[in-house]
Amino acid sequence: MNRRHLLLLLGGLPIVTLPVASYAQSMSDLAGAMKDPLIAALTSKLGVTDSQAKGGMGSLLTLAKEKLGGTDFSKLTSLIPQATKYMDTAKQLGAVTGPLKDKVGLNGALSKLGMNSDTVAKFVPTVLDYVGKIGGEGAKNMLAGVMK
């Protein structure tokens, strides 16, 4: 769509929406980012599908639940409101079929979701960056600790 048609289409919208609309690859990307910024960050930065992002998060959170105490896991899930939904999605997609135990188990779960090795290697650092931004270094370090 050329710029003139876009301006005609958006002519009734306030000026503030134009920059936002121009940065979104599509209106569905914009809507997704507004609904769930974590999943939007994973899909845009890693090129994974919505299901892969949710299943991957669920897999990582499953490992965190295995490794962290109840209080620490609750702190983590307070930063990620849909944590239970993500964990359920990981099970439904077949990524998590039992205990993950460690980083190798997590990488296997991410691979079951169809992620290639390059994407698997970038998944956890991307999530850690996000958690650090919303929960601070303490939350980031707590989640990073489950990978050891």
Segment 32-78, tens digit of pLDDT: 445 789 999 999 999 999 999 999 999 999 999 999 988 999 999 99
**In the predicted structure, residue 31 carries a pLDDT above the cut 70:** no
Asked if pLDDT for residue 147 goes beyond 50, the answer is: yes
More confident residue, 116 or 10: 116
* Confidence at residue 59, expressed as pLDDT on a 0 to 100 scale: 98
What pLDDT does residue 16 have?
Answer: 43
**Residues 67-106 pLDDT 10s:** 998 899 999 999 998 999 999 999 999 999 999 999 999 9
User: What's the confidence (pLDDT) of residue 34?
Assistant: 56
In the prediction, which pLDDT does 148 show?
A: 84
Whether the pLDDT of residue 24 is over 60: the answer is no
Query: What pLDDT score does 140 carry?
Result: 96
Place of tokens 């899930």: 77
Show the 3-state SS of 3-67: HHHHHHHCCCCCCCHHHHHHHCCCHHHHHHHHHCHHHHHHHHHHCCCHHHHHHHHHHHHHHHHHH
How many angstroms separate the CA atoms of 54 and 34, rounded? 16
What is the distance between the alpha carbons of residues 95 and 107, in angstroms, rounded to a whole number? 10
pLDDT over 90 (residue 10): no
Predicted pLDDT at 74: 95
